[in-house]
Amino acid sequence: GRFDAAIDAYEHAVELNPGLVASWRFLAEAHRKAGSAERAKLAEANFKRLSGLPPELVAVTSMMHEGKLYKAEKICRHFLQQTPHHLEAMRLLAQIGSRLNIHDDAEFLLESALEMEPDFDLARMDYVKVLHQRQKFERAFAEARKLRERMPGNPAAELAYANQSSAMGKYDEALRVLDRL
């Protein structure tokens, strides 16, 4: 019955490791019971996305956030050998590559995933980050604008757009979006 404490604990857990499927489920339930329908909906969406993934990819997600990048990479590569073109596996491998400063491979994987599924918003979000890291600011800005158009009002999409606006020297636009956020 201590929903505020439960919510704080589960939110801290999924912040440290977004691959904790049960924590997302309990967080959604706690938000519903506390009367936070919108936040319950977001937690439920994360729970459904993760519980729909193959167990290997859930493990990869957890390992990445535990700092076990090389083990996560090995499992992810093996999974992709068995299941080529699995979009989430490609996205996860790109995230691992990005964390290991292998940005060209990460860019290629995300670009390929988006060619196969242009509506894969999580991949587009990661793609914007990788393009920014590679100092491809014009492309990053264009992708952030697409993301913002696809996800109007989404704070992560708005923040990505603001960051890329700033990188392009569009400071007034960046500040306008950030003030609204």
Q: What is the pLDDT of residues 66-89, one digit of tens each?
A: 999 999 999 999 999 999 999 999
% of the chain with per-residue pLDDT over 90? 91
Phi, psi (deg, nearest 5) at residue 163: -60, -40
Instruction: Tell me the C-alpha distance between 95 and 69, whole Å.
Output: 10
pLDDT in tens, 22-78: 999 999 999 999 988 989 999 999 999 999 999 999 999 999 999 999 999 999 999
Amino acid found at 106: A
**What value does the mean pLDDT take over residues 152-177?**
95
Instruction: Tell me the C-alpha distance between 34 and 26, whole Å.
Output: 12
What pLDDT band is residue 2 in, cutting at 50, 70 and 90?
confident
Tokens representing residue 10 in the block: 């589960």
Phi, psi (deg, nearest 5) at residue 52: -85, -5
Predicted local confidence at residue 153, as pLDDT: 86
Predicted local confidence at residue 109, as pLDDT: 97
Average pLDDT along the chain: 95
Helices 87-99, 121-133: axis angle to 10 degrees equals 20
Tokens representing residue 27 in the block: 């967080």
